[in-house]
Structure 1
Amino acid sequence: MKIIDLYIIKKYLGTFGFMLGLLTIIILVIDVQAKAPRIESNGFTVTEFLIDFYPYWIVNLIITFMSILVFISVIFFTSKIANNTEIVAIISSGASFHRFARPYFITSGVIAVAALLINHFILPLANIKKNELEPYTYSAKNREEFTGNAEVATQLSKTEYIFIKSYNKKEKRGSGFFYQKFDKNRKLIYQLNAADFYWEKDKKQFLMSNYLEKTFLKNDTEKLAQGNSMTKNFGQTPEELFPDVLLGQNKTTPELIKFINREKEKGNANLNNYLNELYQRTSMPFSVIILTVLGLALASQKKRGGLGMNLAIGIALAFVFVFSFEVLKVVSANKTLSPLVAMWLPNLIFGPLALYLYFKRANQ
């Protein structure tokens, strides 16, 4: 059986590699053509993006579609060997269906482990590069959220708050800065106003200009201080103080867990987008194994309609699977469903279905 194991593993990886390369080329060409006008209107060239953006974007693309490609690949090559009666010959030689399925489990397990490592440690590093330029591929309205000025309100801790009238995330500067600190009884004890401020990257602190400090003393009096400039350190970078939806993508899993725990300690209850990112990094690789089992069960028996029918069923199920993840992300972000349940629900539905069909096929 070792020869047959190697044969199936080569078929699996060969088909998966071909599908992966073909999809990457097609989507890359379509995406570049669609985004070229926006890229050039923002002062960049397509060549710059092909060097500094798309290599990292492709890593994200591969991980996003990996489980679908595995599913379609398994259905494609398994249907071919089933139609050639190779599976019948293998099982007729005395091998059980479970023994025949072993190389499928081995290969999908290796791909799943690789996907886990990439998701948790490598993909965030690629996303840092990708997300620097991605806003310049958006429409003007959507781009403004990441590169324009906006009002900001954030909670540093259970007793500290920052409000900014106008802040530019790209330049890390703003105007109308307002900071308040309360004691445990919710009584205001300190307040800082500044006309303008910006982040000094080298010194890792904020420089405030035209500031006014108010310290509220126990005898209901105020201590005032003002000046042209002062430095202030809030213990976090601007990206973490004023996070956007892309921040979670840029952090490795240990960094993301640390960030989420810190935000929970601050009292931030709006963390579902980051929790979705955290849980999906594990749930998606597990779907590689689940969809491999499902694809094997669906395609390992010769059917009327052959390869075309199996591919049609596979593509339909693959789109349902991916679409369900995207829908559940929105549902979870709106706090209708917990992120843990939302990101594992497709696996919890497709997993038992895959096992049922697998054992049904094995017992035939």
Structure 2
Amino acid sequence: MTIVDRYITKKYLGTFSFMLVLLSIVVLVIDIQQKIPRIENATAIDPKLNVTYFLLHFYPFWIINLVVTFLAILVFISVIYFTSRMANNTEIVAIISSGASFHRFARPYLLTSFFIAIISLVVNHFVLPWANIKKNELEAYTYNAANKEKILGTAPVSAQLSKTEYIFINSWNKREKRGYGFVYQKFDKDRKMIYELKANDSYWDPAKKQFVLNSYLEKTINKNDTEKLAQGFELRKSYGQAPEELFPNELLGQNKTTPELIKFIDREREKGNSNLNTHLNEFHQRTSMPVSIIILSFLALSLSSQKKRGGLGINLALGISLAFIFVFSFEALKVVSENKSMAPALAMWLPNIVFFPVTLVLYLKRANQ
């Protein structure tokens, strides 16, 4: 690595680190101020859920999620900023005039962005899920009333355990893990019901990892269509999974490492989960976002490596505008995919598919000037 390579790499990582810390502090302060009323409502439910508790047990992990989400944009703005300053100071002209080609000048950009992308890839697939487990334990308490009810409230739920087994609960409280109107049904290969279990109410016993069914009625249907009935006050049943897995919410996929997420998606696909695209978006985004770091790094280099009349200001304005378009496109395509109007793989890779040829054209045009 030459002196110029080390100089550019130092500029790259130094500016990126400064932007990372600055964004984290600013967004953290703004977010806390906005969510204090909701946190105070959570304190009414559980006294320990105060602002201090959230600062220690929620926001450190929330920051990790935030950084991963905006990493590509931070890289983009950082490269535009320090490269524009180099161009304005005629440093790039001096480097090119010394005999180095533009491709050679761009090499430290490639190596540094590739290094950040590899770290991001590992974090996305294995570290971020751990942070999300901690974050999502409290995430719902920071939502508005309607969204909090979806995660912690009471609603009908159902699950398909296998191709022949189903569970239905008329009213299930996700926070208390207690419900009313429990029904389990099993069918044979001809789709004829052979067993049914009903209970007035049920709750989850985390110690024994079982459902406790109260005031239950069992019905077994024999081959000759005769029925055998049994009833009682309490029955314990294990269905192989905790309620969070049987009745998953939209946050559950975020908590799983990629190998776990693949198995989870396969299982939910067999069960016919209507929220499957949400989890598929999570799966594809974990790889597409790190790739965006390399693409946006070269886009920023192409846009800011030539001295312009507007100087640093015009480059930053252009960079922030493109960053907004990039982030907005990802979020908009998530909604489109979740509404089943576009395949999740295409939705999560489309920004890269669009930005890559644009970046390539701009880079080659700049290199040939």
TM-score, normalised with respect to structure 2: 0.97
Task: State how far apart, in whole Å, the 2-side matches of 1:220 and 1:265 are.
Answer: 29
Out of 134, 153, 156, the residue aligned to residue 151 of structure 1 is 156
Question: Structure 1 residue runs of 4+, over 4 Å off?
Answer: none
1:190 maps to 195
1:309 maps to 314
Cα deviation for residue 170 of structure 1 reads 1.3
Task: State how far apart, in whole Å, the 2-side matches of 1:151 and 1:209 are.
Answer: 18
Range with bigger deviation, 158-167 or 116-125? 158-167
Q: Which runs of 5+ in 2 are unaligned?
A: 44-48
Range with bigger deviation, 125-134 or 143-152? 143-152
Task: State how far apart, in whole Å, the 2-side matches of 1:289 and 1:258 are.
Answer: 29
1:118 maps to 123
1:10 maps to 10
The percent of aligned pairs where both chains have the same amino acid is: 69
- RMSD (Å) for aligned C-alpha atoms: 1.1
Task: State how far apart, in whole Å, the 2-side matches of 1:323 and 1:158 are.
Answer: 39
* Secondary structure of the corresponding residue to residue 342 of structure 2: coil
1:45 aligned onto 2:53: no
1:35 maps to 35
* Secondary structure of the corresponding residue to residue 248 of structure 2: coil
Task: State how far apart, in whole Å, the 2-side matches of 1:206 and 1:113 are.
Answer: 43
* Secondary structure of the corresponding residue to residue 337 of structure 1: coil
Cα deviation for residue 209 of structure 1 reads 1.2
Residues 275-333 of structure 1, C-alpha deviation per residue, up to 9 Å, x if partnerless? 00000000001000000010000000111101111111110001100100001101111
Q: Is 1:157–1:267's contact at 8 Å kept on the other side of the alignment? A: no
1:292 aligned onto 2:297: yes
Residues 7-43 of structure 1, C-alpha deviation per residue, up to 9 Å, x if partnerless? 0001001100111111111110111111112111221
Q: Which amino acid aligns with 1:6?
A: R
Cα deviation for residue 204 of structure 1 reads 1.6
Cα deviation for residue 270 of structure 1 reads 4.1
Residues 226-254 of structure 1, C-alpha deviation per residue, up to 9 Å, x if partnerless? 11111111111111100000001111111
* Secondary structure of the corresponding residue to residue 157 of structure 1: coil
* Secondary structure of the corresponding residue to residue 60 of structure 2: helix
Q: Is 2:159–2:271's contact at 8 Å kept on the other side of the alignment? A: no
Task: State how far apart, in whole Å, the 1-side matches of 2:227 and 2:246 are.
Answer: 28
Q: Which runs of 5+ in 1 are unaligned?
A: none
Cα deviation for residue 141 of structure 1 reads 2.3
Q: How many residues in Structure 1 have an aligned counterpart in Structure 2?
A: 364
Rate the CA distance shift 1:266–1:142 in 2: closer, same or farther, 3 A. closer
* Secondary structure of the corresponding residue to residue 58 of structure 1: helix
2:138 maps to 133
Cα deviation for residue 4 of structure 1 reads 0.6
1:213 maps to 218
Cα deviation for residue 269 of structure 1 reads 5.5
Rate the CA distance shift 1:270–1:29 in 2: closer, same or farther, 3 A. closer
TM-score, normalised with respect to structure 1: 0.98
Q: Which amino acid aligns with 2:216?
A: Y
For residues 157-306 of structure 1, what are the structure 2 equivalents within 5 Å?
Answer: 157-268=162-273, 270-306=275-311
1:341 aligned onto 2:346: yes
2:46 maps to none
Q: Is 2:196–2:218's contact at 8 Å kept on the other side of the alignment? A: yes
Rate the CA distance shift 1:125–1:229 in 2: closer, same or farther, 3 A. same
Out of 339, 355, 366, the residue aligned to residue 361 of structure 1 is 366
1:320 aligned onto 2:320: no
Residues 199-226 of structure 1, C-alpha deviation per residue, up to 9 Å, x if partnerless? 1212222111111111111101111111
Out of 94, 101, 107, the residue aligned to residue 89 of structure 1 is 94
Task: State how far apart, in whole Å, the 2-side matches of 1:273 and 1:139 are.
Answer: 20
* Secondary structure of the corresponding residue to residue 161 of structure 2: strand
Task: State how far apart, in whole Å, the 1-side matches of 2:198 and 2:104 are.
Answer: 71
Q: Which amino acid aligns with 2:189?
A: K
Q: Which amino acid aligns with 1:15?
A: T
Cα deviation for residue 266 of structure 1 reads 3.0
Q: Which amino acid aligns with 1:129?
A: K
Q: Is 1:158–1:267's contact at 8 Å kept on the other side of the alignment? A: no
Task: State how far apart, in whole Å, the 1-side matches of 2:273 and 2:51 are.
Answer: 40
Residues 162-200 of structure 1, C-alpha deviation per residue, up to 9 Å, x if partnerless? 111111111212111011111111111111101111112
